[in-house]
Amino acid sequence: MVRDGLPSWLLPVRTAAETVRPEQLSRFLPPAEGGRHSAVLLLFGEGPAGPDLLLIERSRTLRKHAGQVSFPGGALEEADGDVHGPGPVAAALREAAEETGLDPSGVQVFATLPALYIPVSDFVVTPVLGWWRRETPVGPVDPGETGAVFRVPLAELADPARRGRYRHPSGFTGPAFEVDGRVVWGFTAGVIDRVLHHSGLELPWDSTRMVGQSGSEAVPG
């Protein structure tokens, strides 16, 4: 079933995005002033294995955040527009096109989440939610920046056997996912965790299980 251009399985995600409060997503909320404004794209599609989410792996040759999995995205530019207006959506689509080669005209943006904060980098990040209604080929545009572009079925992200927690050397511990031979953690895993939870897609999982190895937190580029 399709409603407002969205498949029925995506409607709970939209409802959650429209009703969730910032403090339900993260304990790190943006400062009243300042911060480096950026946006990321949570692009939902329907692949061979069912509903999925598009992710990228940063190049393993980068000096910072090498090999870390993240959403496509990056910092707002002046041409994107005001941060309180069209800026985050424009930035998320522009950065996704630059990183993965997707055609933004095939993406239906249906919601944005409240802006969140990454204290270590001073990034204020707006997650933009999109439906990939007309898919186009994707892949790393610049291998020096993006090592891989891949789609992860939501069923795998919700699979308790693939879930756990990841401990950073700083002492911070957060949710993590094991997908495609990779560990998704940090900001990206935190957003996925909250989207699954508030959309009713989450399954009971063992929050005492530790996965992966420690590293540095990724931020939008």
Q: What is the pLDDT along the chain (221 residues), one digit of tens a residue?
A: 557 899 999 999 999 999 999 999 998 889 988 889 999 999 999 999 999 999 999 876 656 655 789 999 999 999 999 998 999 999 999 999 999 999 999 999 999 999 999 988 899 999 999 999 999 999 999 988 899 999 999 999 999 999 999 987 777 789 999 998 899 999 999 999 999 999 999 999 999 999 875 444 443 43
- What six digits make up the tokens of 197? 């939870």
Nearest to 168 by CA among 115, 118, 210, 121: 210
Nearest to 219 by CA among 43, 23, 35, 84: 35
Nearest to 207 by CA among 149, 148, 167, 154: 167
Q: How far is 217 from 188, CA to CA, in rounded Å? A: 10
CATH superfamily of 2-151: Nucleoside Triphosphate Pyrophosphohydrolase (3.90.79.10)
- What six digits make up the tokens of 4? 């407002």
The pTM assigned to this predicted structure is 0.92
Rounded alpha-carbon distances, angstroms, from residue 15 to 19, 21, 40, 153? 6, 12, 19, 20
Contact present, 188 and 70 (Cβ < 8 Å) = yes
* C-alpha atoms less than 13 angstroms from C-alpha of 166 in its C-beta half-sphere: 24
* Domain ranges for the chain: 2-151
